Chains A and B, each alone.
Chain A
Amino acid sequence: QVQLVESGGGVVQPGRSLRLSCAASGFSFFNYGMHWVRQAPGKGLEWVAVMFYDGSRQYYADSVKGRFTISRDNSKNTLYLQMNSLRAEDTAVYYCARDESSIYFDYWGQGTLVTVSS
């Protein structure tokens, strides 16, 4: 069965960096695009970034462009999110999600909490 397991969250000071990981199993990771979606405490869902299956294309929400970098290692079945210059408003649970048809998200991980606070 499809499994997505995020890790790397924690408490970080404003302006610092953090890298999240998402370990995938149960499907052919190299065949799928992968997303990061976040949810601030008590708020709704916000798409963050996508990297398509071969890693050749990645796209970002305006709110994180230039600060966050999505990447993947198909040999390790792992998706990453490098987050630099973190701000308080980046505080959220970060989910990785599998892409389907470049349109929607068919499987989600359980999420990892990132708290940006001094």
Chain B
Amino acid sequence: EIVLTQSPDTLSLSPGERATLSCRASQSVRSSYLAWYQQKPGQAPRLLIYGASSRATGIPDRFSGSGSGTDFTLTISRLEPEDSAVYYCQQYVSSPKYTFGQGTKLEIK
């Protein structure tokens, strides 16, 4: 079973700064099978990035994804207060099964 481990658990940054969130897989993952979601308190998750680097509909270009193999990154440039949320990476595994990382909480000071 492929496990996704996100780091850090919590990230505290100021508006205007850049956030770098990591998602590491225990085995190699096809890039096309890796997605990122944003979840604000009391809300459902929202798709941000699919295929490791493609932005979903309506997602600002401040959000970008990169990576391959076992290491994937979500970068949020020019942080805004509304970016405060928990961010999850997710992979598809054949069977099919779907797994998520444990999440990174991003706090905007």
A residues neighboring B (CB under 8 Å) = 35, 37, 44-47, 50, 59, 61, 95, 100, 102-111
Report which residue of B33, B43, B44, B97 has the largest number of chain A beta carbons within 10 angstroms of its beta carbon. B44
Whether A50 contacts B88 in the complex (CB less than 8 A), given A45-B45, A111-B44, comes out as: no
Q: Please report the number of residue pairs spanning A and B whose Cβ atoms sit closer than 8 angstroms.
A: 56
DSSP class of B's interface residues: helix, strand, loop or mixed?
strand
Stretch at the interface among B61-69, B71-79, B99-107: B99-107
Specify which of B33, B37, B96 is in contact with A59 (CB 8 Å cutoff): B96
A59 to B96, CA, bound (A): 7
Specify which of B43, B96, B102 is in contact with A102 (CB 8 Å cutoff): B96
Interface size band for B: 20 to 34
Chain B nearest CB, measured from A89 CB (Å): 17
Whether A103 contacts B44 in the complex (CB less than 8 A), given A50-B96, A59-B95, comes out as: no
Q: Does B35 contact A (CB under 8 A)?
A: yes
Q: Is A103 in contact with B102, judged by CB distance below 8 angstroms?
A: no
Given contacts A103-B32, A105-B35, 17 further A-B contacts (CB under 8 A): A37-B45, A44-B88, A44-B101, A44-B102, A44-B103, A45-B90, A45-B103, A47-B100, A59-B95, A100-B50, A103-B35, A103-B92, A104-B50, A105-B45, A105-B47, A105-B90, A107-B47
Chain A nearest CB, measured from B5 CB (Å): 12
